[in-house]
Structure 1
Amino acid sequence: MLGQLPPALQRLHLPLRLKLWDGNHFDLGPSPQVTILVREPQLISQLTHPSLDQLGAAFVEGKLDLEGDIGEAIRVCDELSEALLTDEAEALPQRVSHDKSTDAEAISYHYDVSNAFYQLWLDQDMAYSCAYFREPDNTLDQAQQDKFDHLCRKLRLDAGDYLLDVGCGWGGLSRFAAREYGAKVFGITLSKEQLKLG
């Protein structure tokens, strides 16, 4: 079954262990510091053609988990993602490349229409992602605040913790985490309009 893993995973030399639901494991390098726990057999077939979206969804759904130091996990997962993207790029040579300039143009095209346009239909904090309706009759403003609170609780934020909000949009989550949880927040956006309002 481990032979079904994509070649990029088999070639890696990372301090990473892939541990299966049945206790079997596969080390992707010497002295594993981080372990990815695969909790469901169906996930192995997704790993044969992995995408970060699939892996993120599997983590949220409890199909996989991580063990190890968080700093090391981030470093290893970054290298893992790079390897998977490189493997995909080799399989699909016409893949669109990203650089700061083209990404900034794409962001500007989408978000720099005008803040007034987005204020017509977003909540008071301009959250541009799905809301969390705890009750069916909650307002959009309340549902977005509840989402921010839900995220902060899942992150277990405490006063003085640091939060890096990449793609922070208009800064709603950043402001909420600083105001309600006392977090020290750094938000990043490539949009000039978002930066102007945030």
Structure 2
Amino acid sequence: MADAAGRLSRLAEEVLGAPLPVRIRAWDRSEYGPPGAPVLVIRNRRALRRLLFKPGELGLARAWVAGDIDVEGDLYEALDLLSGLIWERGTAAEKPRRAAALRALAKPEVRAAARELVTLAGLPVPPKPPAEEAPKSHGPLHTLRRDKEAISHHYDVGNDFYELVLGPSMVYSCAYWESPDATLEEAQRDKLDLICRKLRLEEGQRLLDVGCGWGSMALHAAREYGVRVVGITLSEEQAAYGRKRVAEAGLADRIEIRVQDYREVHDEPFDAISSIGMAEHVGRARYAEYAADLYALLKPGGRLLNHQIARRPLADEDAYHVDEFIDRYVFPDGELAPVGRTVGQLEDAGFEVRDVEAIREHYALTLRAWVANLEARWKEAVRLTTPGRARVWRLYMAASALSFERNKIGVNQVLAVRTPESGTSGLPLRAREWRG
């Protein structure tokens, strides 16, 4: 069993047709790979069994969450080096790389190496998935029940844990940075205020905050702009936390936090709607319904600010699938769409789209700030949740930061109006007057 690292590295090189860009350290203390590179630590043979029984991203995810593999050195650098081998699916490079791997597997020497991997892995028994993995759901996507279960998986993991990661703002969406030297709190405050200005909120108006989280947008809008707010979330923990914050701020007469689906809101009309980081949960099959429902909830002249992550368009849109790691461990049933489709579906619902602002780089800065918060208080984070859950958050946030930086995904604020028949939108003549 000596030199497991060298044997694994040579096997990977045979299959990939190129040396691994990271160094490997195996459970037998052997090391192999480029000096000075980040180290992929394979702590036990169970990690290999996970890959054998679930080849690809899900097997790697289970090994990471269970602590069977780890990274020593800069996590961002390691993910950047490995991204072309693991996460860059749907790109122009994917098909030739996959074809090369399949050709390699036909070679006798590679088949021999694969048999060696089976030997290295030990007992031919599939390891149980880590407890943090969401069970695979069946039946129609995005029913009321299934959406509530998916939201609970991600958000009901402990408000204390989220306080640690998000900081005092308790805002779990892309911040708006004046510069990289700003603080996370300043950037989140500026984001909330930007949305209020885009919506042209005024005292006495009524705002619906869809996916209100822990109540931060509702609190800012009520406190700074004097509006009355209905905030809705599917997370019981978020709602309890938000109501406590509202009571402590003395704003219970202006803010109501409900555990409610957007499809169950029937006390329209509203002057404005904010949907911040929620529409990613809606799904392709339900998006037209989502847009139509929000349109119906607004009074004529009412405004919607839809803040949503977007993916790059694919040559074959039907080939889109959610990453297995994200689907099983982070956002079950979450789906991303290109911004063009989002704009088109809002228009199909009757909205007049007046502004689209891309803030992709801002999310990379936000995610790096969250990762820094998590890493700085790692032991406390583990205590507040589980080691596996903390590892899920660290990996998905770091990998997402790189995806935003490399333009694999983006995030956009779309301002849309339910323009009345008179054609008077109520917006200023000069575009983006809200910048001040």
1: distance between equivalents of 2:63 and 2:160? 19
1:190 to 2:337 alignment: yes
1:64 to 2:69 alignment: yes
Asked whether the 8 Å contact 1:19–1:25 carries over to 2, the reply is yes
Match of 2:24, SS? strand
Unaligned stretches of 5+ in structure 2? 104-139, 175-209, 217-237, 239-275, 278-307, 311-335, 347-413, 415-436
1:11 to 2:21 alignment: no
Tell me how far 1:35 sits from its aligned partner: 1.4
Aligned counterpart in structure 2 of residue 157 of structure 1, from 157, 162, 166: 166
2: distance between equivalents of 1:10 and 1:177? 48
Match of 1:156, SS? helix
Tell me how far 1:42 sits from its aligned partner: 3.1
Aligned counterpart in structure 2 of residue 21 of structure 1, from 13, 17, 27: 27
Tell me how far 1:58 sits from its aligned partner: 0.5
Asked whether the 8 Å contact 2:46–2:68 carries over to 1, the reply is no
Asked whether the 8 Å contact 2:16–2:101 carries over to 1, the reply is no
Q: Provide the residue aligned with 2:45 in structure 1.
A: 41
Distance 1:13 1:54, change over 3 A: closer
Q: Provide the residue aligned with 2:213 in structure 1.
A: 176
One-letter amino acid matched to 2:43: R
Asked whether the 8 Å contact 1:37–1:66 carries over to 2, the reply is yes
Tell me how far 1:88 sits from its aligned partner: 3.9
1: distance between equivalents of 2:76 and 2:214? 21
One-letter amino acid matched to 2:337: L
Tell me how far 1:55 sits from its aligned partner: 0.5
1: distance between equivalents of 2:88 and 2:35? 17
* Aligned pairs (5 A) from 1:120-131: 120-122=144-146, 126=147, 129=150, 131=152
Tell me how far 1:159 sits from its aligned partner: 5.1
1: distance between equivalents of 2:32 and 2:74? 19
Asked whether the 8 Å contact 1:20–1:39 carries over to 2, the reply is yes
One-letter amino acid matched to 1:26: Y
Give CA deviations for 1:24-76 in whole Å, capped at 9, x if unaligned: 1111x3431x1111111232355578411100111111111112223212212
One-letter amino acid matched to 1:79: G
1:80 to 2:85 alignment: yes
1:118 to 2:118 alignment: no
Match of 1:118, SS? coil
2: distance between equivalents of 1:46 and 1:73? 20
Tell me how far 1:157 sits from its aligned partner: 3.5
Match of 2:156, SS? helix
TM-score, length of structure 2 as denominator length: 0.26
Q: Mean alpha-carbon deviation: is it higher for 144-153 or for 69-78?
A: 144-153
Give CA deviations for 1:70-111 in whole Å, capped at 9, x if unaligned: 321221221332699665433448xxxxxxxxxxxxxxxxxx
Tell me how far 1:3 sits from its aligned partner: 2.6
2: distance between equivalents of 1:26 and 1:178? 50
Distance 1:13 1:83, change over 3 A: farther
Asked whether the 8 Å contact 1:20–1:38 carries over to 2, the reply is yes
2: distance between equivalents of 1:37 and 1:52? 17
Distance 1:89 1:187, change over 3 A: same
Q: Provide the residue aligned with 2:192 in structure 1.
A: none
> Alignment length, in residue pairs?
148
1: distance between equivalents of 2:144 and 2:26? 48
Structure with larger Rg: 2
Match of 1:76, SS? helix
2: distance between equivalents of 1:65 and 1:37? 5
Match of 1:40, SS? coil
Asked whether the 8 Å contact 2:50–2:62 carries over to 1, the reply is no
2: distance between equivalents of 1:21 and 1:147? 32
Asked whether the 8 Å contact 1:39–1:64 carries over to 2, the reply is yes
1: distance between equivalents of 2:101 and 2:20? 21
Unaligned stretches of 5+ in structure 1? 94-112, 133-143, 165-170
